[in-house]
Amino acid sequence: MKINVIYNKNIPDYDESLGMLEKALKKRKLEYRSYNLDDMSNFGDFTIVLGGDGTILRAARYYSEFATPIMGVNIGRLGFLSQVQYQDIEPLLDAVMAGDYKTEERMMLSSGDKLALNDFVIRGCNSTRASKFYLEVDGEDVCDYIADGLIIATPTGSTAYGLSAGGPVLYPTIESISVVPICPHTLNARPLVVPACEKIAVKTMDGTLSVAIDGYNKFDCVDKISIQKADNKAVLAFLNISNYYSILRDKLHWGMSAGEY
């Protein structure tokens, strides 16, 4: 087995975790190459990512082109997409070598050549006030939103910004797209879930749209953006003990009262 190792040098003390992982790989005589997040390449047939959710999102978008499974080792904050901490690197490698893991294909969204595993977040050109957004689904006018923005999210991204904005939690392997308004200026604006086969378009008469991809890359377009299900899928690897509902409970304290965590 050949391993890609991805690390994020912007995370404090990343070098300690990287050193532990490289030592464990050498101990098991596994071939590997280490890449900084800004300089990724595909050497192996499996990828281990050291970092937080933002690091995993960027790596997943890149390796989706090669359908290379990636497994996250959390050295960030929440670590919703990762399953193990860096202290558990040794048993993680043993499980990977034994094939004791499962993979999940996660749908992504695309707008032109731009990919998102979590979401596209759309705002007006003037971020200090609300804008009017016009939503189209498969070329049909659906509704108008006066809001601070719109979140167009995958099921994977439903537990990210969309959840904070009042959107639904979707099981990550469901093929669907959610549209969630950010701070809508009306009480009857509600999130919308549509089939993944449908194309989303958002336009505004207020000027240029500003778009963020997975909370990181930003770009400005004119007065309209089109978003659809991407051809590529991210391939995430998890240990066989993974259970999505237990992750909701453990990471988001889902259904737990304040005194229980």
**Has residue 190 been placed in a domain?**
yes
Residue 254 is predicted with a pLDDT of: 66
Query: How many domains, in total, are found in the chain?
Result: 2
- Classify the phi-psi angles of 151: left when phi > 0, otherwise alpha if psi is within -120 to 50, otherwise beta: beta
Residue 213 is predicted with a pLDDT of: 95
Of residues 13, 45, 53, 141, which has the active-site annotation? 53
CATH number of the CATH domain containing 210: 2.60.200.30
**Has residue 216 been placed in a domain?**
yes
- Do 43 and 82 lie in one domain? The reply is yes
- Do 91 and 118 lie in one domain? The reply is no
- Do 191 and 118 lie in one domain? The reply is yes
Interacting residues of 185 by C-beta distance below 8 A, sequence separation 6+? 130, 146, 147
**Has residue 10 been placed in a domain?**
yes
CA distances from residue 229 to 64, 117, 120, 178, 218 in whole angstroms, order as listed? 14, 10, 12, 12, 19
Question: Which residues partner with 72 through β-bridges?
Answer: 49
- Do 121 and 203 lie in one domain? The reply is yes
Residue 81 is predicted with a pLDDT of: 83
pLDDT tens, the chain, 261 aa long? 899 999 999 988 899 999 999 999 999 999 999 999 999 999 999 999 999 889 999 999 999 999 999 999 988 666 678 778 888 899 999 999 999 999 999 999 999 999 999 999 999 887 677 899 999 999 999 999 999 999 999 999 999 999 999 999 999 999 999 999 999 988 888 999 999 999 999 999 878 899 999 988 788 877 899 999 999 999 999 886 557 766 676 666 666 655 565
Instruction: Show the tokens assigned to 25.
Output: 């790989």
**Has residue 241 been placed in a domain?**
no
Give me the domain span that covers residue 67.
Answer: 2-99
Place of tokens 């003990």: 241
**Has residue 173 been placed in a domain?**
yes
- Do 65 and 126 lie in one domain? The reply is no
Question: Which residues partner with 6 through β-bridges?
Answer: 35, 49
- Do 78 and 134 lie in one domain? The reply is no
- Do 13 and 46 lie in one domain? The reply is yes
**Has residue 242 been placed in a domain?**
no
Closest CA to 78 of 238, 237, 244, 251: 251
> Which of 99, 134, 149 is a domain's end point?
99
**Has residue 193 been placed in a domain?**
yes
CA distances from residue 232 to 67, 105, 107, 117, 194 in whole angstroms, order as listed? 8, 10, 7, 10, 19
Residue 38 is predicted with a pLDDT of: 93
- Do 114 and 226 lie in one domain? The reply is yes
Residue 153 is predicted with a pLDDT of: 98
**Has residue 119 been placed in a domain?**
yes
- Do 69 and 156 lie in one domain? The reply is no
- Do 140 and 221 lie in one domain? The reply is yes
Residue 244 is predicted with a pLDDT of: 73
Verify whether residue 53 is a known catalytic residue: yes
- Do 42 and 128 lie in one domain? The reply is no
- Do 91 and 151 lie in one domain? The reply is no
Closest CA to 149 of 183, 116, 118, 178: 183
> Which of 99, 130, 165 is a domain's end point?
99
CATH number of the CATH domain containing 8: 3.40.50.10330
CA distances from residue 133 to 35, 183, 211 in whole angstroms, order as listed? 40, 13, 13
> Which of 75, 99, 123 is a domain's end point?
99
Length of the chain: 261
